[in-house]
Amino acid sequence: MIRIALALAFILSATAGAGQTMRMAVTTSFQNSGLATVLLPEIEADTQLEIQMLVVGTGQALRLGAAGDVDAVLVHAPAAEAQQVGAGHATHRREIMYNDFVILGPKSDPAGVATATTASQAFAALAAARTPFASRGDDSGTHKAELAIWASTGAMPQGRWYVETGAGMGATLNTAVGLGAYVMADRASWLNFGNKADFEILFEGDPPLNNQYSFLPTNPARHPHIDAAAAKAVEDWLVGPKGQAMIGAYRVNGVQVFFPNATAP
């Protein structure tokens, strides 16, 4: 059974006096990357909103949107997002930025992942070697992307070597390092992660590892109580000049980890 950790990560209150709150569900990778800490105070200051940010996996974030428990979601699973809009739970999907996933493991690389030329080959090597692999196993955007790559190999992983944590990116990285297991993570979370031990990036750069983030406002026709105006204000900020510039300027250890690519509504 997948364990979903639903946590109110933090409530920034720089403009709490404005009295209007916007509830937004975001992915754990958005928080772990450090980008949320940079953007949210500026969003609050410019929109005069107080942002309540629920940090969960993408699957749980979309369910919160579908239930009307949040005004919008910021997630990274395009196929699931399209279903959310198609089912009428969100008014639209707005691309905001992208980064990428990387495959990590011990420098010794016992499965030979570094010699692969595609992500599918890298995962096939892992399955053949049956070396430990730590999966989030939590229906997050990272988990969905990982499963898509496994599916491309023609053999879904199973057995004791495949460890599902049911947890967020930071906890899963800690598990991987503790077990000496391979793991797939978004680059920003990895660079911002402090317990790297002898781990390093062993594979990167294949198109299936692209990681698009999008903003989906909850549909007020389904849930009249949600604050559609507040969701629009946050969306406009994210796709506006200041938001896109700040996303592009954000660095982790001197490395640009997010690339703004806002689209028309």
Residue pLDDT, tens place only, 36-54: 999 999 999 999 999 999 9
Distance of CA 47 to the CA centre of its chain: 24
Phi-psi group of 124: left, alpha or beta (phi > 0 → left; psi -120 to 50 → alpha; rest → beta) = alpha
Handedness of CA 165, 144, 59, 255 (dihedral sign): positive
Q: What is the pLDDT of residues 180-209, one digit of tens each?
A: 999 999 999 999 999 999 999 999 999 999
Residue 105 pairs in a beta bridge with 200
Q: Tokens representing 177?
A: 């390092």
CA–CA separation, 86 and 225 (whole Å): 21
Check if the beta carbon of residue 84 is closer than 8 Å to that of residue 66: yes
Instruction: Count Cβ neighbours within 10 Å for each residue of 6-15 and write b for 16 or more, e otherwise.
Output: eeeeeebeeb
pLDDT > 70 in the chain, percent: 92
230 pLDDT higher than 50: yes
Q: What is the pLDDT of residues 126-165, one digit of tens each?
A: 999 999 999 999 999 999 999 999 999 988 898 999 999 9
SS3 256: strand
Side chain identity at 239, as an amino acid letter? V
Q: What is the pLDDT of residues 95-130, one digit of tens each?
A: 999 999 999 999 999 999 999 999 999 999 999 999
The pTM of this model reads 0.86
Q: What is the pLDDT of residues 13-38, one digit of tens each?
A: 333 334 599 999 999 888 888 999 99
User: For the chain, which domains are there?
Assistant: 7-98+211-260 (3.40.190.10), 101-209 (3.40.190.10)
Q: Tokens representing 92?
A: 């639209």
**pLDDT bucket at 77, cuts 50 / 70 / 90:** very high
